[in-house]
Structure 1
Amino acid sequence: MTRYLSRSSIDESAGADVRLFCFPYAGGGASAYGRWQRILDAHGAGVRVLPIQLPGREGRIDEPRFTDLSALIDDMDAELDDELDRPHIFYGHSMGALIAYSLAWRRQQRGAPLPLAVALSAYRAPHLPAPLIARPEASDEELIESLASLGGIPQVLLNHPDFLSALLPVARDDLLLCTGNAASLTSEPLRVPLHLFAGRRDRLVSVPEVVSWRRHAGRGCEVRTMPGGHFFVRAHEDTFLRELATLARQYARVPVAA
């Protein structure tokens, strides 16, 4: 069994026609998508949600984290290969967008089955510099302030030292992962439809920077703007998931109820 998916997730997806693989944002884990199956089902999306669990967090806390994007993609491509031979969609938010696109691009290069579509939110295209959440040498206090101001840390958790001490090393390594060399991803457009989501009030990644992914779309590109800032997927979760369900139905071939 792949380390990137829970056994229960794989078992539950057995009857689904289309799988939705969800890649986490910096500092996040698979639990960020814990409510999505129920909400997407309510919106008639017709997909099975499969949250990706990266090493070094939550159920994989004792495993070393990746700080090199190419090494992570190599590992994911090998581990997930058998799970990606059925119809599927990739979705990634922020750092997850970079990982989702990178994995699809790597599989294109080696002729492996590709997603039906790739949905990306709140991240710049790889020909642009990575978004700078905080300076590499930023203190813990500065990093916490930056993440909190973007909505990456719920206010209720800011006074929980145990949570913050666990989050910060993960966030720092993930930021290193994002600043790696993504130049190779710009050499050839992805032969998969891209669906882009941008927060209208995102202070880290602007709407035009999200739209910049169009350069890398070899099979068409669609852009949706969402209310809220960088973490609109959390602050406006139901609104976003209604949009994602609409997108998913295009590929799951689920009829919309009258």
Structure 2
Amino acid sequence: MKPTLLALDFDGVLCDGLPEYFETSWRVYRQMWSPASPIPAPDLFTRFARLRPVIETGWEMPVLLRALLLGFPEADLLENWPILVRQITDSERMVPEELATALDQTRDQWITRDRPDWLGHHQFYPGVIAQLRSWLNRSLSLVIITTKEGRFVQELLQEQQITIPEPQIYGKELGIAKRQVLIHLLRGMAQSNGRQPQLWFVEDRLKTLFKIAAEEELSSLRLYLAEWGYTTAKDRQEAQDSKRIQLLTLADFTSDFSCWPEPRVPYEQSAI
């Protein structure tokens, strides 16, 4: 079996941009908080990388740096990030929309000044580009659903000679939650095909998958957690224990769909 439509997250599924996230976030951090040294501490990137799985949207990344430099324990940040990120932004009088704008502007400036350097701070996961080309050559229906600005996704794909039409990239600029995008896609496919479509979604953020799994209208979707992305050991174990979500390896992802894990039980809202 193969999907009627394959929906993919971008960061943590197709592309590893940790060096870029860190560098962009540090530049924004310097604008917002004016640290004494323009050079980050030697261990800051490693700590940031360990905590990358807590991030839902980009504006949180400079706040994560702030939390680390304020001395918040990593264990607390892993367990309580949704609460702590709001506490920090409130206490520092930071506005998420302003942080998001600063991140996008910083990226745009970086691309304008040194596009090869910006591109060089990203790396597609092994085998992913070849798999994308194979799917597109076989006319597989494919969309990307991401909290990244769509134009940045296009920049990175074009560098790899991958063309995905703009309407098939659902980026942050649309302001629509991933589960709402999936509902929209599912309804459109059902209306045009007149039957239940096979929609599969690959994401590396477990909390996002749980939100989607809780939507009754999306009970027919196959949901996959990308093991190779920004996940923790706890995330991977929860996915393995879940009846609704399948844990997907990079080897599975870059193989034929027949190698992808099958649902363990019929999809039902209660089987999460």
* TM-score past 0.5 threshold: no
Q: When the two structures are superposed, what TM-score results if normalisation uses the length of structure 2?
A: 0.27
Rg comparison, structure with higher value: 2
Greater helix content: 2
